[in-house]
Structure 1
Amino acid sequence: MSPEQSGRRLDTPRQGRRFSFNLDSDVVGVYAERIARFLGTGRYLAIQTVIVIVWIALNLVAVSWRWDPYPFILLNLAFSTQAAYAAPLILLAQNRQENRDKVSLDEDRMRAAQTKADTEFLARELAAVRLAVGDTVTRDYLRRELDDLLTELTERLSPTDDADDEFGLRPGDSRDPDK
């Protein structure tokens, strides 16, 4: 019987028969960080110290319960196992923190660049406003111009001994608008 007749091809791998164990790396990372944080606390050190003291006391004093005699090989094995698991968990937590720090640093750089761009824009706008204000009329300039105009008008309207004013009228003339 050929492979094609049996319904199976030799150039195609089998699928679906293998057990697939998939873990979400974020979930593992979160629990690793929790364990790493707990391993670094004084509470953990106090609990571990109490357990070690009780372990040693029971193995030295209680002769009938001696499950780990004097060299305490089982206790050393427990510490070795704990260290073998704690070190990778701590490294995983540090790597995750490093990744968060990188993301935070990138965001800070982007924010700093945006702030710099905003500051430069505002500086240009302020320079444009200063130039525009330099071209506008100030109150003192306007007041001085109005005072000069008032002086000129009072000089023109005051009676003079000259015969003609600028309109060609004399003070008693019938075409005088003041009459």
Structure 2
Amino acid sequence: MAERNPLSQPGRRRWLPRVSLDSETFGRFAESVASFMGTATFLVYMTVFVVLWILFNVVGIFGFRWDAYPFILLNLFFSTQASYSAPLILLAQNRQERRDQVSFDEDRRIAAQSRADMDFLAREIAAIRMSLGELATRDFVRGELRNELRDLAERLEQATDEEEQK
């Protein structure tokens, strides 16, 4: 293998190591952060944190006063939290939208298949009804048999009357 001379090769030098993350793992992390930030528990924790921060810095409990009144450090923490939470929430929303789109596409495919199945069954039922329309029904056959029996009974009566008259 030829040895590579960095001076003879154009390109950028990297000062930071290349980081590769599994997008699925990071996506699950983003969803867990986004779902936690939308809970009452998170709001309670943040409220307690802010109240303690203000108490420590205004009252000076145990002599701690690291952030004077306009609370610039607290504001910096909130800004940092917002700058990280907004992209995480957007990433979680994008992942949910992709899942919803896949689910919607699958629902459309199933609905189209169901529609095709229903159309096929409707055509089959129509064909069966047309075939049955040409067949004699049970009531029709019974009626015809009754008429024939009446005719036979009348003929028998006539035949017996004629024999008696002879």
Task: Give the structure 1 partner of residue 56 of structure 2.
Answer: 58
Task: Give the structure 2 partner of residue 132 of structure 1.
Answer: 131
Which is higher, the Rg of structure 1 or of structure 2? Answer: 1
Task: Give the structure 2 partner of residue 24 of structure 1.
Answer: 22
Task: Give the structure 2 partner of residue 175 of structure 1.
Answer: none
TM-score (norm. length: structure 2)? 0.81
TM-score (norm. length: structure 1)? 0.75
Higher helix share: 2
RMSD: 2.7
User: 1:90-118: per-residue Cα shift (whole Å, max 9, x none)?
Assistant: 00001001101100110111111111111
- Structure 1, gaps ≥5 residues long: 1-5, 163-170, 172-179
Count of residues in Structure 1 that have an aligned counterpart in Structure 2: 154
Quickly say closer, same or farther: Cα 1:9–1:34, change in 2 above 3 A: closer
How many angstroms apart in 2 are the aligned matches of 1:65 and 1:147? 111
Aligned ranges 1:48-127 → 2 under 5 Å: 48-62=46-60, 64-127=63-126
**How much does 1:31 deviate?**
0.5
How many angstroms apart in 1 are the aligned matches of 2:17 and 2:48? 42
How many angstroms apart in 2 are the aligned matches of 1:148 and 1:7? 108
User: 1:24-63: per-residue Cα shift (whole Å, max 9, x none)?
Assistant: 1010000100000111111101110111011011111117
| Bigger RCO (CA 8 Å, 6+ sep) | 2
The code of the aligned residue for 1:138 comes to T
Quickly say closer, same or farther: Cα 1:119–1:61, change in 2 above 3 A: same
Task: Give the structure 1 partner of residue 13 of structure 2.
Answer: none
